[in-house]
Amino acid sequence: MLRIGALISGGGRTVLNLAESFRRDAIPASIAVVIAHRSELAGVERCRSAGLSVEVLPRSLPSPLSPTQSLDDRIDVALADANVDLVCLCGYLRHFRVGQRWAGRTLNIHPSLLPEFGGHGMFGDHVHAAVLAAGASHSGCTVHLVDEVYDRGPILLQRRCPVLPGDDVRTLAARVYAEETLAYPEVVRRIATGELPLPIALSRSF
C-alpha cells in the first residue's frame, strides 16, 4: 500500500478526490497524512470529516523550544512520522523543499498544459484567466514531478480539454478540474502498481 502525504492550502478537494478514487477504483494507495498551515482552512475540516489524518503546521514556530527548526524541517518530520512514500501537492501554494529526500517522490498537478501558463504566481484562477486572455483553443492539466523550481519538473501525464466560445474563468476551471480528477489518480495508480517505480528518475516521463 503506497502511503501518501498530501499538502493543501485551500478547500482540499484534490486530496479528497484522490482518497475517493483510491477507494472506488481499488488503487493500492492511501492518504497517510494531510498537511496544512492554517487550522481555519476549509480543507482541514473537510479532510478530518472524511477520516483523514491532518497535521496543522503553522508557518511560525509554535514555541522557542526548536529555534533552529524551519517549516520545511517540520514538514519533513511530519511526513517521516507518517511513513510517507510519495508526496502529492494538492493545491499547495507554498514552495515545497524537495531536497534529496523527496526527489523523484513528489508530484504536483497544475491546471494548464505545461510548460504554458506555469511558474511562480500561476495558480488557480490566475492560470485560467491567462489561458483565456491568450486566446488558447485548448487547456487541460499536467501531472509532473516536482523539483526546486515552480512547475519545471518532468511531465508525467497531461489531459486536454477545449476552451469554448463564451468561456469565463469559472466555466473553464470546472472543465479543467474534471480532467484533474482523472489525471492525478491515474498517475498515482501507475506508481502504486509498480508501472512507474519509486523513486521516479527526473529524466523519465510517460
pLDDT digits (tens, 9 = 90+) for 148-160: 999 999 999 999 9
**What total number of domains does the chain contain?**
1
Q: Average pLDDT of 131-141?
A: 98
128 in catalytic set: no
- The one catalytic residue in 37, 95, 110, 120 is 110
CA pseudo-torsion sign 88, 157, 102, 63: negative
For residue 145, tell me if it sits in a domain.
no
Question: Is 162:135 a contact under the CB 8 Å cutoff?
Answer: no
Q: Which residues contact 59 (CB under 8 A, 6 or more apart)?
A: 37, 71
Residue 188 grid cell: 498515482
For residue 87, tell me if it sits in a domain.
yes
For residue 10, tell me if it sits in a domain.
yes
For residue 43, tell me if it sits in a domain.
yes
For residue 91, tell me if it sits in a domain.
yes
For residue 119, tell me if it sits in a domain.
no
pLDDT score for 60: 80
- Binning pLDDT at 50, 70 and 90, where does residue 51 land? very high
pLDDT score for 64: 59
Question: Is 132:111 a contact under the CB 8 Å cutoff?
Answer: no
Range of the domain at 93: 1-97
User: What CATH number is associated with residue 48?
Assistant: 3.40.50.170
